[in-house]
Structure 1
Protein backbone atom coordinates (compact mmCIF):
# COMPACT_ATOMS: atom_id res chain seq x y z
CA UNK A 1 0.00 0.00 0.00
CA UNK A 2 1.04 3.56 -0.36
CA UNK A 3 0.53 6.35 2.12
CA UNK A 4 -0.61 9.82 1.10
CA UNK A 5 1.51 11.91 3.48
CA UNK A 6 2.63 12.18 7.09
CA UNK A 7 5.08 13.86 9.57
CA UNK A 8 5.22 17.13 11.34
CA UNK A 9 7.88 19.51 12.52
CA UNK A 10 7.08 22.41 14.81
CA UNK A 11 9.03 25.49 15.86
CA UNK A 12 8.00 28.52 17.83
CA UNK A 13 6.15 29.70 14.74
CA UNK A 14 4.83 26.23 13.84
CA UNK A 15 6.45 25.62 10.44
CA UNK A 16 5.03 22.61 8.63
CA UNK A 17 6.55 20.07 6.33
CA UNK A 18 5.14 17.15 4.39
CA UNK A 19 6.96 13.85 3.98
CA UNK A 20 6.09 10.94 1.71
CA UNK A 21 6.00 7.35 2.89
CA UNK A 22 7.01 3.99 1.45
CA UNK A 23 4.80 1.34 -0.08
CA UNK A 24 4.22 -1.26 2.61
CA UNK A 25 1.14 -3.06 1.31
CA UNK A 26 2.63 -6.54 1.35
CA UNK A 27 5.58 -6.08 3.70
CA UNK A 28 4.04 -4.59 6.83
CA UNK A 29 3.57 -1.09 8.18
CA UNK A 30 6.60 1.13 8.61
CA UNK A 31 6.71 2.90 11.95
CA UNK A 32 7.31 6.14 10.06
CA UNK A 33 3.68 6.43 8.99
CA UNK A 34 2.68 7.05 12.59
CA UNK A 35 4.27 10.49 12.41
CA UNK A 36 1.51 12.61 10.92
CA UNK A 37 1.88 15.65 8.67
CA UNK A 38 -0.47 18.59 8.60
CA UNK A 39 -1.36 21.83 6.93
CA UNK A 40 -2.56 24.90 8.78
CA UNK A 41 -6.26 24.60 9.41
CA UNK A 42 -8.18 27.70 10.40
CA UNK A 43 -10.08 27.01 13.60
CA UNK A 44 -11.54 30.39 14.46
CA UNK A 45 -13.86 30.91 11.50
CA UNK A 46 -17.55 30.11 11.53
CA UNK A 47 -18.59 26.92 9.77
CA UNK A 48 -21.87 25.26 8.97
CA UNK A 49 -22.04 22.11 11.07
CA UNK A 50 -24.58 19.53 9.85
CA UNK A 51 -27.24 18.30 12.23
CA UNK A 52 -28.03 14.68 13.02
CA UNK A 53 -30.13 12.95 10.41
CA UNK A 54 -30.02 11.20 7.05
CA UNK A 55 -31.35 7.91 5.72
CA UNK A 56 -29.96 4.51 6.58
CA UNK A 57 -27.38 3.16 4.18
CA UNK A 58 -28.84 0.70 1.68
CA UNK A 59 -27.30 -2.34 0.04
CA UNK A 60 -25.99 -1.74 -3.48
CA UNK A 61 -26.30 -3.87 -6.63
CA UNK A 62 -24.15 -6.93 -7.35
CA UNK A 63 -21.14 -6.32 -9.60
CA UNK A 64 -18.44 -8.57 -11.05
CA UNK A 65 -14.75 -8.45 -10.17
CA UNK A 66 -11.87 -10.70 -9.15
CA UNK A 67 -10.17 -11.38 -5.84
CA UNK A 68 -6.68 -12.32 -4.74
CA UNK A 69 -5.11 -12.35 -1.26
CA UNK A 70 -2.09 -10.96 0.52
CA UNK A 71 -0.14 -11.91 3.61
CA UNK A 72 -0.04 -9.76 6.71
CA UNK A 73 -1.53 -9.37 10.15
CA UNK A 74 -3.65 -7.17 12.37
CA UNK A 75 -0.96 -4.49 12.43
CA UNK A 76 -0.45 -4.29 8.67
CA UNK A 77 -3.83 -4.96 7.07
CA UNK A 78 -4.98 -1.40 7.85
CA UNK A 79 -1.94 0.61 6.85
CA UNK A 80 -3.21 2.75 3.97
CA UNK A 81 -6.33 3.73 5.91
CA UNK A 82 -4.47 4.64 9.09
CA UNK A 83 -5.79 1.76 11.20
CA UNK A 84 -3.02 0.74 13.60
CA UNK A 85 -4.53 -2.66 14.35
CA UNK A 86 -7.60 -3.84 12.43
CA UNK A 87 -8.66 -6.13 15.28
CA UNK A 88 -8.35 -3.51 18.02
CA UNK A 89 -9.97 -0.93 15.74
CA UNK A 90 -13.09 -3.12 15.49
CA UNK A 91 -12.77 -4.76 12.07
CA UNK A 92 -11.32 -8.19 12.78
CA UNK A 93 -9.33 -9.91 10.02
CA UNK A 94 -12.12 -9.92 7.44
CA UNK A 95 -10.59 -6.97 5.61
CA UNK A 96 -9.68 -6.06 2.06
CA UNK A 97 -7.25 -3.89 0.12
CA UNK A 98 -9.03 -2.12 -2.72
CA UNK A 99 -7.69 -1.30 -6.16
CA UNK A 100 -7.11 2.37 -6.90
CA UNK A 101 -10.49 3.10 -8.47
CA UNK A 102 -12.31 1.65 -5.46
CA UNK A 103 -9.96 3.05 -2.81
CA UNK A 104 -10.61 6.61 -4.03
CA UNK A 105 -7.59 8.14 -2.31
CA UNK A 106 -8.69 6.74 1.05
CA UNK A 107 -12.25 8.03 0.95
CA UNK A 108 -13.64 4.47 0.93
CA UNK A 109 -11.75 3.38 4.05
CA UNK A 110 -14.19 1.76 6.48
CA UNK A 111 -16.76 0.79 3.84
CA UNK A 112 -18.17 -2.75 3.85
CA UNK A 113 -18.57 -5.17 0.97
CA UNK A 114 -20.30 -8.50 0.68
CA UNK A 115 -18.22 -10.82 -1.50
CA UNK A 116 -18.92 -14.26 -2.88
CA UNK A 117 -16.73 -16.51 -4.98
CA UNK A 118 -18.48 -17.60 -8.20
CA UNK A 119 -17.98 -19.80 -11.25
CA UNK A 120 -14.63 -21.28 -10.24
CA UNK A 121 -13.46 -24.71 -8.99
CA UNK A 122 -11.40 -22.71 -6.50
CA UNK A 123 -14.50 -21.52 -4.63
CA UNK A 124 -15.22 -23.08 -1.26
CA UNK A 125 -16.67 -22.54 2.18
CA UNK A 126 -19.13 -19.77 2.88
CA UNK A 127 -21.40 -18.59 0.11
CA UNK A 128 -20.37 -15.02 0.97
CA UNK A 129 -18.43 -12.96 3.51
CA UNK A 130 -18.56 -9.31 4.55
CA UNK A 131 -15.26 -7.46 4.59
CA UNK A 132 -14.16 -3.95 5.52
CA UNK A 133 -11.98 -1.79 3.28
CA UNK A 134 -8.83 -1.05 5.28
CA UNK A 135 -6.00 -0.92 2.73
CA UNK A 136 -5.03 -0.20 -0.87
CA UNK A 137 -3.86 -2.66 -3.49
CA UNK A 138 -1.37 -0.56 -5.46
CA UNK A 139 -1.06 -0.73 -9.23
CA UNK A 140 1.68 -2.82 -10.80
CA UNK A 141 2.21 -1.15 -14.15
CA UNK A 142 5.04 -3.54 -14.95
CA UNK A 143 2.49 -6.33 -15.41
CA UNK A 144 -0.53 -6.57 -17.73
CA UNK A 145 -3.87 -5.86 -16.06
CA UNK A 146 -5.05 -9.38 -16.83
CA UNK A 147 -1.84 -11.09 -15.72
CA UNK A 148 -0.33 -9.75 -12.51
CA UNK A 149 -1.41 -6.14 -12.64
CA UNK A 150 -4.73 -6.99 -11.08
CA UNK A 151 -5.07 -3.66 -9.31
CA UNK A 152 -4.14 -1.47 -12.27
CA UNK A 153 -6.75 1.16 -13.18
CA UNK A 154 -9.51 0.93 -14.23
CA UNK A 155 -9.89 -2.56 -12.74
CA UNK A 156 -12.17 -3.04 -9.75
CA UNK A 157 -10.23 -5.60 -7.75
CA UNK A 158 -10.28 -6.96 -4.20
CA UNK A 159 -7.04 -8.08 -2.57
CA UNK A 160 -8.38 -9.86 0.50
CA UNK A 161 -6.56 -10.39 3.76
CA UNK A 162 -5.50 -14.03 3.63
CA UNK A 163 -7.81 -15.18 6.50
CA UNK A 164 -10.81 -13.69 4.66
CA UNK A 165 -9.84 -15.14 1.29
CA UNK A 166 -9.52 -18.65 2.70
CA UNK A 167 -13.15 -18.53 3.80
CA UNK A 168 -14.37 -18.36 0.21
CA UNK A 169 -11.58 -19.84 -1.96
CA UNK A 170 -8.77 -22.37 -1.98
CA UNK A 171 -5.25 -21.15 -1.35
CA UNK A 172 -3.97 -22.72 -4.58
CA UNK A 173 -6.56 -20.90 -6.69
CA UNK A 174 -4.67 -17.63 -6.22
CA UNK A 175 -7.22 -15.51 -8.07
CA UNK A 176 -10.96 -16.17 -8.34
CA UNK A 177 -13.95 -14.45 -9.96
CA UNK A 178 -16.32 -12.84 -7.47
CA UNK A 179 -19.50 -10.87 -7.18
CA UNK A 180 -19.53 -7.98 -4.74
CA UNK A 181 -21.82 -5.26 -3.44
CA UNK A 182 -21.66 -2.44 -0.90
CA UNK A 183 -23.55 -3.29 2.27
CA UNK A 184 -24.23 -1.50 5.56
CA UNK A 185 -21.53 -1.99 8.18
CA UNK A 186 -22.73 -3.61 11.41
CA UNK A 187 -20.40 -2.80 14.27
CA UNK A 188 -20.19 -3.77 17.89
CA UNK A 189 -19.94 -0.81 20.23
CA UNK A 190 -19.48 2.83 19.33
CA UNK A 191 -17.39 4.90 16.96
CA UNK A 192 -13.82 5.15 18.24
CA UNK A 193 -11.82 8.36 18.32
CA UNK A 194 -8.08 7.98 18.99
CA UNK A 195 -6.25 11.27 19.53
CA UNK A 196 -2.51 11.58 18.97
CA UNK A 197 -0.16 14.51 18.42
CA UNK A 198 0.83 17.40 20.65
CA UNK A 199 -0.76 20.62 21.97
CA UNK A 200 -0.21 22.32 18.60
CA UNK A 201 -1.27 19.49 16.30
CA UNK A 202 -3.96 16.87 16.75
CA UNK A 203 -4.49 13.73 14.70
CA UNK A 204 -7.76 11.87 15.23
CA UNK A 205 -8.20 8.33 13.96
CA UNK A 206 -11.87 7.49 13.42
CA UNK A 207 -12.69 3.78 13.39
CA UNK A 208 -15.42 1.17 13.98
CA UNK A 209 -17.99 3.26 12.13
CA UNK A 210 -21.30 1.59 11.31
CA UNK A 211 -23.81 2.29 8.54
CA UNK A 212 -22.04 3.44 5.39
CA UNK A 213 -18.77 3.02 7.27
CA UNK A 214 -16.76 5.56 5.28
CA UNK A 215 -16.47 8.95 6.97
CA UNK A 216 -16.46 12.06 4.80
CA UNK A 217 -16.36 14.78 7.47
CA UNK A 218 -15.34 15.14 11.12
CA UNK A 219 -16.07 18.03 13.49
CA UNK A 220 -15.00 18.72 17.08
CA UNK A 221 -16.22 21.13 19.74
CA UNK A 222 -15.08 21.89 23.27
CA UNK A 223 -17.02 22.96 26.34
CA UNK A 224 -14.94 26.05 27.00
CA UNK A 225 -13.24 28.05 24.23
CA UNK A 226 -13.28 25.69 21.26
CA UNK A 227 -16.20 26.29 18.91
CA UNK A 228 -17.28 23.79 16.25
CA UNK A 229 -14.21 23.11 14.12
CA UNK A 230 -13.99 20.93 11.03
CA UNK A 231 -11.00 18.61 10.83
CA UNK A 232 -9.12 18.02 7.57
CA UNK A 233 -8.51 14.55 6.15
CA UNK A 234 -4.83 13.76 6.40
CA UNK A 235 -5.02 10.31 4.78
CA UNK A 236 -7.40 7.37 5.06
CA UNK A 237 -9.34 7.82 8.27
CA UNK A 238 -6.76 10.03 9.93
CA UNK A 239 -8.12 13.53 10.50
CA UNK A 240 -6.12 16.56 11.65
CA UNK A 241 -6.43 20.01 13.13
CA UNK A 242 -4.15 22.55 14.78
CA UNK A 243 -7.04 23.84 16.92
CA UNK A 244 -6.29 23.80 20.64
CA UNK A 245 -8.07 20.68 21.92
CA UNK A 246 -6.12 20.25 25.15
CA UNK A 247 -7.90 20.99 28.42
CA UNK A 248 -11.27 20.80 26.69
CA UNK A 249 -14.11 18.33 27.09
CA UNK A 250 -14.59 17.18 23.51
CA UNK A 251 -17.68 16.43 21.44
CA UNK A 252 -17.20 14.84 18.01
CA UNK A 253 -19.57 14.79 15.05
CA UNK A 254 -19.03 12.61 11.98
CA UNK A 255 -20.78 12.44 8.62
CA UNK A 256 -20.67 9.31 6.47
CA UNK A 257 -20.89 9.08 2.68
CA UNK A 258 -24.65 8.51 2.74
CA UNK A 259 -25.19 11.81 4.56
CA UNK A 260 -25.96 10.37 7.98
CA UNK A 261 -24.65 12.20 11.02
CA UNK A 262 -23.61 10.89 14.41
CA UNK A 263 -22.79 13.15 17.38
CA UNK A 264 -20.75 11.81 20.29
CA UNK A 265 -21.29 14.28 23.11
CA UNK A 266 -18.55 14.91 25.67
CA UNK A 267 -16.76 11.64 24.93
CA UNK A 268 -13.29 12.95 25.81
CA UNK A 269 -13.30 14.39 29.34
CA UNK A 270 -11.28 17.41 30.33
CA UNK A 271 -7.78 16.21 31.11
CA UNK A 272 -7.69 13.55 28.38
CA UNK A 273 -4.27 12.40 27.23
CA UNK A 274 -2.76 11.85 23.78
CA UNK A 275 -2.89 8.21 22.75
CA UNK A 276 -6.23 7.56 24.41
CA UNK A 277 -9.28 6.21 22.55
CA UNK A 278 -12.79 7.42 23.28
CA UNK A 279 -16.01 5.67 22.27
CA UNK A 280 -19.06 7.55 21.01
CA UNK A 281 -22.41 7.03 19.30
CA UNK A 282 -22.53 4.72 16.30
CA UNK A 283 -24.55 4.10 13.16
CA UNK A 284 -25.77 0.63 12.15
CA UNK A 285 -24.85 -1.03 15.42
CA UNK A 286 -25.26 -4.80 15.77
Structure 2
Protein backbone atom coordinates (compact mmCIF):
# COMPACT_ATOMS: atom_id res chain seq x y z
CA UNK A 1 0.00 0.00 0.00
CA UNK A 2 1.33 3.41 -0.90
CA UNK A 3 0.64 5.43 2.22
CA UNK A 4 3.79 7.54 2.26
CA UNK A 5 3.80 11.17 1.16
CA UNK A 6 6.42 12.81 -1.02
CA UNK A 7 7.38 15.52 1.49
CA UNK A 8 11.06 15.23 2.42
CA UNK A 9 13.03 16.69 5.30
CA UNK A 10 15.92 15.36 7.38
CA UNK A 11 15.10 17.49 10.43
CA UNK A 12 15.32 15.72 13.77
CA UNK A 13 12.26 16.24 15.96
CA UNK A 14 13.76 15.51 19.34
CA UNK A 15 15.68 13.02 21.39
CA UNK A 16 14.19 10.08 19.51
CA UNK A 17 15.91 11.35 16.35
CA UNK A 18 12.85 10.69 14.19
CA UNK A 19 13.43 12.15 10.74
CA UNK A 20 10.67 13.59 8.59
CA UNK A 21 11.53 11.98 5.26
CA UNK A 22 8.09 10.41 4.96
CA UNK A 23 6.05 13.12 6.67
CA UNK A 24 3.99 16.08 5.51
CA UNK A 25 3.06 19.16 7.52
CA UNK A 26 -0.36 19.95 8.99
CA UNK A 27 -2.10 21.83 11.80
CA UNK A 28 -3.55 20.20 14.91
CA UNK A 29 -6.07 21.37 17.50
CA UNK A 30 -8.16 19.33 19.96
CA UNK A 31 -11.74 18.82 21.10
CA UNK A 32 -13.75 16.25 23.03
CA UNK A 33 -13.54 13.25 20.72
CA UNK A 34 -16.56 11.73 19.04
CA UNK A 35 -17.35 9.64 15.97
CA UNK A 36 -20.53 11.29 14.73
CA UNK A 37 -19.36 12.17 11.24
CA UNK A 38 -18.42 8.55 10.53
CA UNK A 39 -21.17 6.84 12.53
CA UNK A 40 -18.80 5.30 15.06
CA UNK A 41 -20.80 6.52 18.02
CA UNK A 42 -20.48 9.00 20.85
CA UNK A 43 -17.58 9.94 23.10
CA UNK A 44 -18.09 6.89 25.31
CA UNK A 45 -17.94 4.56 22.29
CA UNK A 46 -14.75 6.15 21.00
CA UNK A 47 -13.12 5.94 24.44
CA UNK A 48 -13.37 2.14 24.41
CA UNK A 49 -10.71 -0.13 22.85
CA UNK A 50 -9.55 -0.46 20.19
CA UNK A 51 -9.94 3.29 19.47
CA UNK A 52 -9.16 4.21 23.10
CA UNK A 53 -9.68 7.91 22.22
CA UNK A 54 -6.69 7.86 19.84
CA UNK A 55 -8.84 9.56 17.24
CA UNK A 56 -9.20 12.81 15.33
CA UNK A 57 -11.65 14.69 13.18
CA UNK A 58 -10.26 15.73 9.82
CA UNK A 59 -10.90 18.62 7.48
CA UNK A 60 -12.00 17.92 3.91
CA UNK A 61 -8.50 16.81 2.88
CA UNK A 62 -8.66 14.00 5.45
CA UNK A 63 -12.39 13.33 5.78
CA UNK A 64 -12.83 12.97 2.00
CA UNK A 65 -16.64 13.22 2.15
CA UNK A 66 -16.67 10.29 4.53
CA UNK A 67 -14.39 8.03 2.49
CA UNK A 68 -11.52 8.96 4.82
CA UNK A 69 -13.35 7.50 7.82
CA UNK A 70 -11.20 4.82 9.39
CA UNK A 71 -7.92 5.96 7.80
CA UNK A 72 -4.97 5.88 10.20
CA UNK A 73 -2.17 8.43 10.49
CA UNK A 74 1.05 8.65 12.44
CA UNK A 75 1.30 12.22 13.77
CA UNK A 76 4.02 13.94 15.78
CA UNK A 77 5.14 17.40 16.80
CA UNK A 78 8.71 18.65 17.06
CA UNK A 79 10.41 19.05 20.42
CA UNK A 80 12.65 21.59 18.68
CA UNK A 81 9.59 23.80 18.14
CA UNK A 82 7.46 23.01 21.19
CA UNK A 83 9.34 21.98 24.30
CA UNK A 84 6.46 19.81 25.54
CA UNK A 85 6.43 17.63 22.43
CA UNK A 86 7.89 14.15 22.72
CA UNK A 87 8.79 13.88 19.03
CA UNK A 88 7.28 10.40 19.09
CA UNK A 89 4.58 9.55 16.50
CA UNK A 90 1.07 8.79 17.74
CA UNK A 91 -1.19 6.68 15.53
CA UNK A 92 -4.76 7.98 15.32
CA UNK A 93 -7.90 7.06 13.39
CA UNK A 94 -10.13 9.53 11.52
CA UNK A 95 -13.57 9.17 13.12
CA UNK A 96 -15.25 12.51 12.45
CA UNK A 97 -15.29 15.63 10.28
CA UNK A 98 -13.86 19.01 11.24
CA UNK A 99 -15.71 21.48 8.97
CA UNK A 100 -15.72 25.26 8.54
CA UNK A 101 -12.58 26.94 9.95
CA UNK A 102 -10.58 23.70 9.79
CA UNK A 103 -10.71 24.05 6.01
CA UNK A 104 -8.76 27.30 6.21
CA UNK A 105 -5.70 25.03 6.50
CA UNK A 106 -4.67 22.63 3.73
CA UNK A 107 -4.59 19.74 6.23
CA UNK A 108 -6.07 20.02 9.72
CA UNK A 109 -6.39 17.37 12.45
CA UNK A 110 -8.78 18.09 15.31
CA UNK A 111 -7.61 15.56 17.90
CA UNK A 112 -9.49 14.25 20.87
CA UNK A 113 -8.12 15.84 24.02
CA UNK A 114 -6.63 12.46 24.98
CA UNK A 115 -4.89 11.94 21.65
CA UNK A 116 -3.52 15.49 21.69
CA UNK A 117 -1.97 14.75 25.06
CA UNK A 118 -0.20 11.69 23.64
CA UNK A 119 1.89 14.02 21.48
CA UNK A 120 3.54 15.39 24.63
CA UNK A 121 6.34 14.25 26.84
CA UNK A 122 5.33 12.45 30.03
CA UNK A 123 3.71 14.91 32.41
CA UNK A 124 3.57 17.67 29.76
CA UNK A 125 0.16 16.96 28.20
CA UNK A 126 -1.56 19.97 29.78
CA UNK A 127 1.32 22.23 28.78
CA UNK A 128 0.83 21.19 25.17
CA UNK A 129 -2.97 21.51 25.35
CA UNK A 130 -2.64 25.09 26.57
CA UNK A 131 -1.06 25.97 23.24
CA UNK A 132 -4.37 25.02 21.60
CA UNK A 133 -3.08 24.99 18.03
CA UNK A 134 0.23 23.52 16.92
CA UNK A 135 2.04 22.54 13.76
CA UNK A 136 2.50 18.80 13.30
CA UNK A 137 3.90 16.27 10.86
CA UNK A 138 1.91 13.32 9.61
CA UNK A 139 1.94 10.33 7.32
CA UNK A 140 -0.70 7.78 6.34
CA UNK A 141 -0.05 4.37 7.89
CA UNK A 142 -1.86 1.02 7.80
CA UNK A 143 -4.42 0.49 10.55
CA UNK A 144 -3.66 -2.35 12.91
CA UNK A 145 -6.19 -3.20 15.61
CA UNK A 146 -4.46 -6.44 16.58
CA UNK A 147 -6.88 -9.32 17.01
CA UNK A 148 -9.95 -7.08 16.79
CA UNK A 149 -12.35 -8.19 14.04
CA UNK A 150 -14.45 -5.86 11.88
CA UNK A 151 -17.62 -4.72 13.64
CA UNK A 152 -20.99 -3.68 12.24
CA UNK A 153 -22.82 -1.18 14.44
CA UNK A 154 -26.49 -1.23 13.41
CA UNK A 155 -28.14 2.18 13.43
CA UNK A 156 -30.96 2.54 16.00
CA UNK A 157 -33.27 3.72 13.21
CA UNK A 158 -33.00 0.44 11.29
CA UNK A 159 -36.01 -1.83 10.89
CA UNK A 160 -37.02 -5.00 9.02
CA UNK A 161 -37.21 -3.05 5.75
CA UNK A 162 -34.12 -0.87 6.24
CA UNK A 163 -30.71 -1.92 7.52
CA UNK A 164 -28.05 0.69 8.17
CA UNK A 165 -24.72 -0.03 9.86
CA UNK A 166 -21.41 1.68 10.56
CA UNK A 167 -18.36 -0.42 9.65
CA UNK A 168 -15.70 -0.23 12.36
CA UNK A 169 -12.15 -1.40 13.18
CA UNK A 170 -11.00 -2.10 9.62
CA UNK A 171 -7.33 -3.06 9.39
CA UNK A 172 -5.06 -2.15 6.47
CA UNK A 173 -6.39 0.81 4.50
CA UNK A 174 -8.88 1.42 7.31
CA UNK A 175 -11.51 2.73 4.93
CA UNK A 176 -14.38 1.24 2.95
CA UNK A 177 -14.66 2.06 -0.75
CA UNK A 178 -17.73 -0.11 -1.23
CA UNK A 179 -19.93 -2.51 0.71
CA UNK A 180 -22.16 -5.27 -0.63
CA UNK A 181 -24.66 -7.50 1.16
CA UNK A 182 -25.78 -11.08 0.60
CA UNK A 183 -28.98 -12.30 2.28
CA UNK A 184 -29.44 -15.84 3.54
CA UNK A 185 -30.02 -18.37 0.76
CA UNK A 186 -28.85 -16.01 -1.99
CA UNK A 187 -25.80 -16.24 -4.24
CA UNK A 188 -26.16 -12.63 -5.35
CA UNK A 189 -24.40 -9.62 -3.87
CA UNK A 190 -26.38 -6.39 -3.63
CA UNK A 191 -24.68 -2.98 -3.37
CA UNK A 192 -25.11 -1.01 -0.17
CA UNK A 193 -25.34 2.79 -0.37
CA UNK A 194 -23.20 5.11 1.70
CA UNK A 195 -25.45 7.08 4.06
CA UNK A 196 -22.63 9.14 5.55
CA UNK A 197 -19.11 8.49 6.72
CA UNK A 198 -18.52 4.77 7.21
CA UNK A 199 -22.26 4.05 7.47
CA UNK A 200 -23.91 2.03 4.69
CA UNK A 201 -27.54 1.03 4.12
CA UNK A 202 -29.59 -1.65 2.41
CA UNK A 203 -33.31 -1.44 1.67
CA UNK A 204 -34.50 -4.94 2.56
CA UNK A 205 -37.00 -6.40 0.08
CA UNK A 206 -40.08 -8.11 1.48
CA UNK A 207 -39.35 -11.76 2.22
CA UNK A 208 -35.59 -11.24 2.48
CA UNK A 209 -34.03 -12.63 5.62
CA UNK A 210 -30.73 -12.82 7.45
CA UNK A 211 -28.19 -13.74 8.39
CA UNK A 212 -26.50 -11.24 6.11
CA UNK A 213 -22.94 -11.59 4.82
CA UNK A 214 -21.07 -8.39 3.97
CA UNK A 215 -18.37 -7.96 1.31
CA UNK A 216 -16.07 -4.97 1.75
CA UNK A 217 -13.60 -3.43 -0.71
CA UNK A 218 -10.90 -0.98 0.36
CA UNK A 219 -10.08 2.21 -1.51
CA UNK A 220 -6.32 2.22 -2.08
CA UNK A 221 -5.31 -1.44 -2.03
CA UNK A 222 -8.59 -2.54 -3.72
CA UNK A 223 -8.51 -5.62 -1.49
CA UNK A 224 -11.83 -7.28 -0.73
CA UNK A 225 -12.99 -9.67 1.95
CA UNK A 226 -16.24 -11.32 2.97
CA UNK A 227 -17.59 -11.22 6.51
CA UNK A 228 -19.81 -14.32 6.46
CA UNK A 229 -23.10 -14.11 8.36
CA UNK A 230 -21.86 -10.89 9.95
CA UNK A 231 -25.34 -9.67 10.86
CA UNK A 232 -27.54 -12.42 12.35
CA UNK A 233 -31.10 -13.25 11.37
CA UNK A 234 -32.39 -11.91 14.69
CA UNK A 235 -30.44 -8.64 14.49
CA UNK A 236 -31.65 -5.69 16.53
CA UNK A 237 -31.37 -1.92 15.94
CA UNK A 238 -28.64 -0.33 18.01
CA UNK A 239 -26.63 -3.55 18.37
CA UNK A 240 -22.98 -4.05 17.42
CA UNK A 241 -22.01 -7.34 15.77
CA UNK A 242 -18.42 -8.51 15.66
CA UNK A 243 -17.49 -10.45 12.52
CA UNK A 244 -14.99 -13.31 12.26
CA UNK A 245 -12.61 -11.52 9.85
CA UNK A 246 -10.40 -8.53 9.23
CA UNK A 247 -7.97 -7.45 6.53
TM bracket (short chain): 0.7 to 0.9
The residue that corresponds to 1:210 in the other structure is: 171
Q: How does 1:107-118 map to 2 (within 5 A)?
A: 107-118=67-78
1:191 aligned residue: 150
What TM-score do the two structures reach when normalised by structure 1? 0.69
In structure 2, C-alpha distance between the alignment counterparts of 1:117 and 1:79, rounded to whole Å: 26
In structure 2, relative to structure 1, the CA distance for the partners of 1:155 and 1:243 (3 Å cut) is: same
Q: Is the aligned partner of 1:261 residue 2:224?
A: yes
Report what 1:19 is aligned to: none
* Root-mean-square deviation over aligned CA pairs: 2.0
2:137 paired residue among 174, 179, 182: 179
Q: 183-192 or 98-107, which moves further after superposition?
A: 98-107
In structure 2, the partner of 1:97 is 57
Distance change (3 Å), C-alpha of 1:81 and 1:209: same
Where do residues 131-280 of structure 1 align in structure 2 (5 Å cutoff)?
131-140=92-101, 151-153=102-104, 155-169=106-120, 170-188=128-146, 189-196=148-155, 197-225=158-186, 227-244=188-205, 247-258=209-220, 259-280=222-243
Q: 1:269 to 1:102 in 2, by over 3 A?
A: closer
TM (norm. structure 2) is 0.79
CA contact (8 A) 2:77 2:86 kept: no
Q: Which moved further from structure 2: 246-255 or 231-240?
A: 246-255
Give the corresponding residue for 2:66: 106
Q: Distance in 2 between matches of 1:225 and 1:59?
A: 37
Matched, 1:78 2:35: yes
SS in 2 for 1:96: strand
8 A Cα contact 1:115 1:178, kept in partner: yes
Q: Distance in 1 between matches of 2:113 and 2:233?
A: 42
Shift of residue 200, structure 1, vs aligned partner: 1.6
Return the offset for 1:223: 2.2
> Where does structure 1 lack aligned partners over 5 or more consecutive residues?
1-56, 141-150
Taking the aligned partners of 1:203 and 1:125, their CA distance within structure 2 comes to 41
C-alpha deviation, 1:206, in angstroms = 0.5
Q: How many residues align?
A: 213
1:208 Cα deviation after fit = 0.7
Structure 1 range deviating more: 216-225 or 175-184: 216-225
1:103 and 1:213, CA in 2 relative to 1: closer, same or farther beyond 3 A?
same
Q: How far apart are residue 59 of structure 1 and its match? A: 3.6
In 2: Cα distance, 1:220 partner to 1:123 partner: 48
Q: How far does the alpha carbon of each residue in 1:193-218 deviate from its partner, in whole angstroms, 9 at most, with x for none?
A: 12330112111111011100011100
Q: Structure 1 residues 270 and 152, CA, compared in 2 at 3 Å: closer, same or farther? A: closer
Moved over 6 A (4+): none
